[in-house]
Amino acid sequence: MSIPSAGSSGVQKTPTSETVDQTSTSSQAEAPKETVQPSKSEPLSESGKGQRMQESSISEQSRRSQLDTALEKGTSAQTESLKAKEGPDTKPAAGAPAFPKDAAEMAKTSNEDLLKLAKEPGGEEKLKQLSKDFKKDGLTQDEIKQMDRIDSATFRPGAGLTLHGKPEDQETFTQMTRRTMLESPSFRQRMQTINHDPHPLHHTEIEVSRGKGDDKDSTRLSTFSEFQGGRQQVDLNDLEKLPVKPDPSNPEGITQGSVLVHEYAEARKGTQASKTPGKDIDPMKLYEPAHEEAVKAENEYRKDIGQKSQRLMPPKDATRTADSITVHYDDGHSEKLQFKKGLLDKTTVIPKK
């Protein structure tokens, strides 16, 4: 809204004496003919002059008052318009961490707090804007590091990745992916490669589901689909039972991240092999090379989070039965995942002999 000018504010000017005299003269001229001639204006006395000056001053004050009111209304309207354009208030909710203003503050923000900020209304946009602000005056090493963290905390499936399943399950899996990317530089790099690869023959797909406790439909944590181009199926009910971070009582234990890294790498390798043009590949032979790549990725993740043992390479990496998977490590210990009615029931550490 434009601010009214003095001439368009709707404020009427007080007629001057000359205008009043002319109007009076005109009215008299149009009246019925009379022989009475208009009298000449008499010179104003000193008291008359004072009254005229006072009236003029009051009129000027009134005009200024109305103009000030118009200006105030215009400014208020502009402010409300700007607020409307900015959209809803995106301040963090009560108890939420404050948004960092620069790389130094970002460095003090924990990964979990960063994930919380990304989930706040408008949080992803604000973090991405902060990342853009870092680039304005050249980038320092600290700013590059914090930009990588922002990329991880605001990750969304891109051209090279599709998640299937209920929207809420996809969102949960995406949040797990973000957390794992923040923990592991090697996984973050792997996910950037997967996510930004537009090649149709490299497209990675993961089905996110929740098991119902039925042995017939169980994925037992995850399943490699040999007949659907390497598409993985992951059971969130099983995955959520694993710790986010290694338990102090089992520092070498299997985490949500280690499984998640394994599934992404296996799906990526499986889809590449199944869609290689000009080759007739036996679907049953897709699994072994895909699984080997997945174990390599899993071991890279274990190094990133400070675990010392490495999963053995296939085929010595695991022993499977109808209701269990036992994973073996190079330091001699193993970890057994026990399933009941198709769902993960418990994990047990088997010490090295």
For 351, the 3-state DSSP assignment is: coil
What amino acid is encoded at 117 in this protein?
L
DSSP 3-state assignment of 204? Answer: strand
pTM: 0.71
Query: Any idea what DSSP says for residue 7?
Result: G
HSE of 135 in the Cβ direction (CA atoms, 13 Å)? 7
Two tokens, residue 71:
């200006």
pLDDT at 8 over 60: no
Question: Cα 317 vs. chain centroid, distance in angstroms?
Answer: 38
pLDDT number for residue 276: 59
Task: Tell me the two tokens of residue 95.
Answer: 């108890």
Per-residue model confidence as pLDDT tens digits over 276-323? 555 556 666 788 889 999 999 999 999 999 999 999 999 999 999 989
Question: Of 179-183, 201-205, 227-231, where does mean pLDDT reach its minimum?
Answer: 227-231
The pair of structure tokens assigned to 176 is 């797990």
Nearby residues of 271 by Cβ (< 8 Å), 6 or more positions away: 201, 202, 203, 204, 205, 229, 230, 231
Closest CA relative to residue 153, chosen from 117, 121, 129: 117
Mean pLDDT of 78-91: 42
Q: Which amino acid is at 69?
A: T
- Report domain extents, the chain: 99-154, 159-309
CATH architecture entry for 159-309 = 3-Layer(aba) Sandwich (3.40)
Query: Nearest CA to 160 among 200, 205, 201, 195?
Result: 195
